[in-house]
Amino acid sequence: MLDACAALVDELGYEGLTTTLIAQRAGVAIGSVYQFFPDKRAVVQALTVRHLEAFLNNLNTRLDARLGDGVADWWAIVDAVIDEYIHMHRAEPGFRTLHFGDVVDVHLLDADRDNNDVIAQRLQELIIDRLGLVDRPGLRFALAIGVETGDALINLAFRRDPEGDKEILDEAKVLIRDYLSRHVN
């Protein structure tokens, strides 16, 4: 059902999505959809959680490939985060339309926090773990600004070009690196 939802979101957008269409595309009875999800928002929320889990798993795999068991490099992590977010836009069904749920509700991942705040916290945890940094409020704030900036610029790049405007994507990396270099060291 989540795969059907992702395909339909890409084709029709969130507004065009219905539980009936999800059931038809998934080849299940509408009652099966309602057995697991009370409405289309709940289906999209589950898809968004799956996107977040895939993003974090893929990011860890990407970091393992780049860094191995060696000492993690701060900029390799930043680049990997941006590269994985770009990859998700290009390859993950439903992601380009939904991102991490902000199209539906900025509090889709957590009722008390913005979706990007949830992402920033998860990235902070990953970075602290990988680099052995001290958890401090300034780091969280800087990562939150970096996530918001990266999200806006990458979304702009994909609005301009279905594969992502290379010039904007390259500039996003420069801008985020420059900002973070002044705030996290």
Write the CA distances from 16 to 20, 30, 51, integer angstroms. 11, 17, 20
**pLDDT bracket for residue 84 (50, 70, 90):** very high
Q: What is the DSSP letter of 92?
A: S
Task: Enumerate the domain spans of the chain.
Answer: 46-183
**Integer Cα distance of 100 and 151 in angstroms:** 10
pLDDT reading at 71 higher than 60:
no
Give me the pLDDT at residue 79, please.
86
Superfamily of domain 46-183: Tetracycline Repressor, domain 2 (1.10.357.10)
Give me the pLDDT at residue 32, please.
95
Biggest alpha carbon–alpha carbon distance for the chain = 54
pLDDT per residue as tens digits for the range 142-170: 888 998 899 999 999 999 999 999 999 99
